[in-house]
Amino acid sequence: MSPALLRLLARSRSIDRRWIALATVLMLAAPLIWRIPLTMVPFPATVKLKTTIDAVPENKLIIVAVDWDSATKGECQPLTAAVIDYLLKNNKKFALFGFIPQGPELAQRLTEELARKYPGKTYGKDWVNWGYRPNVMNTLIAMMNDVPGTLKTDIRKNDLSKDPLTQMVPNLKEAGLLYHVSGTALFKSYLQFCAGVPLANAVTAVMGPEQYPYLQSGQTKGLLVGLGGAAQFEAVGDFKDETGAKGGEGYKGMGSQSLGHLLVMALIVLGNLGVWAQRRLDETTPPPDDEPSETPIDDQGEAA
């Protein structure tokens, strides 16, 4: 390889982070403007979640615990929307609930929006919102024995002891499924205090790897990870968007995510090529006799 090409390649081991940021913006934004038709293959954990939801009998309530806020909305909202949409479509009754103040409020807006797609779906008949509660440990322990007595009222101040949906779950053990969505480690509290309750969960991508032990042990009956998890659930749930195209909110993000992953890989390859080219240059160009040989230092302050 010519020294000029090697020198050019060597420069790629320390690309200015502003160029990286610009490339990231372009790669993530392009598929939002020009939509790429894509097909998502679901993981077994996603299929398992769908099977678990399908198996919940009609007289059992599903609890959707929404422990997220606007910070993690980008991932948690599609993860919540995919399951809520599926519950509405399949006439499953559910309750919204959370230990993070914004969670139940954001989920309520989302549910109201999704319910418009299905005529006749109304608050109080198809879903109830128990709202935000503080004190995870005490609340969960108390709910294990008595749900309406612990929560007392919903977000509209209705008495839960008279609410027909809440009456379906006198204590948490009677729930058909508890689906937990979060970007926090709160799922561990559910595992700790809700023994005997069928649990499933969805997490942001960074939290994903730590959830797999619970999937293998059967402590979670289904797992969705990140925006890809939402897209996978939309694939198994046979979702269609307003234009009739495959998928929903998760699917829409898959083009950006695909290009984002490809960008990361391309940059890793470039960085390593740069290191290799620099090494070749060092080998082919002997150091001057009067100067000691040095390990080249890139502009990140790192020995290459």
The residues in 201-230 that bind another protein, with binding defined as CB under 8 A, are 204, 206-210, 212-213, 215-216, 226, 228
- Applying CB under 8 A, among 54, 265, 284, 287 the residue interacting with another protein is 265
Is 9 an interacting residue with respect to another protein (CB under 8 A)?
Answer: no
Closest to another protein by CB, 183 or 198? 183
Site string for another protein, 95-134 (x = CB under 8 A): -------x-------------------------------x
Determine which residue in the list 264, 284, 287, 297 makes contact with another protein, applying CB under 8 A.
Answer: 264
Hey, which residues between 130 and 169 contact another protein (CB under 8 A)?
A: 134-135, 137-138, 141-142, 144-146, 148-149, 153, 157-159, 161-162, 167
38 binds another protein (CB under 8 A): yes
Asked if 299 touches another protein (CB under 8 A), the answer is no
CB atoms < 10 A from the CB of 144, how many? Answer: 17
Question: Do 215 and 32 meet the contact criterion of CB atoms below 8 Å apart?
Answer: no
| Residue 39 interacting with another protein (CB under 8 A) | yes
SS3 303: strand
Nearest distance, CB of residue 260 and another protein, angstroms: 7
* Residue in 5, 268, 285, 297 binding another protein, rule: CB under 8 A: 268
Q: How far is the CB of 287 from another protein (least distance, A)?
A: 21
Nearest CB to another protein, comparing residues 87 and 193: 193
| CA nearest to 278, candidates 292, 298, 263, 260 | 298
94-98: strand order across its sheet: 127-132, 94-98, 62-67, 177-182, 199-203, 223-225
CA distances from 92 to 26, 60, 79 (A): 41, 8, 17
Q: Assess contact for 140 and 190: CB atoms under 8 A.
A: yes
| Minimum CB distance to another protein, residue 183 (Å) | 6
Min separation Cβ 220 and another protein, Å: 12
Task: Pick the stretch among 2-10, 54-62, 110-118, 269-277 that binds another protein (CB under 8 A).
Answer: 269-277
Cβ atoms of 171 and 179 within 8 Å: the answer is no
User: Which segment (14-22, 51-59, 83-91, 124-132) binds another protein by CB under 8 A?
Assistant: 14-22
**How many Cβ atoms are within 10 Å of 12's Cβ, its own excluded?**
17
Q: Which two tokens stand for residue 22?
A: 């610009």
Please give the biggest Cα pair distance in the chain.
Answer: 91
Are the C-beta atoms of residues 192 and 201 closer than 8 Å to each other? no
Site for another protein contains 29 (CB under 8 A): no
Q: Which of 1, 5, 8, 20 binds another protein (CB under 8 A)?
A: 20
Query: Hey, which residues does 129 pair with through a beta bridge?
Result: 96
Binders in 41-80 for another protein, by CB under 8 A:
41, 43-45, 69-74
DSSP 230-266: HHHHHHHTT-B-TTS-B--HHHHTHHHHHHHHHHHHH
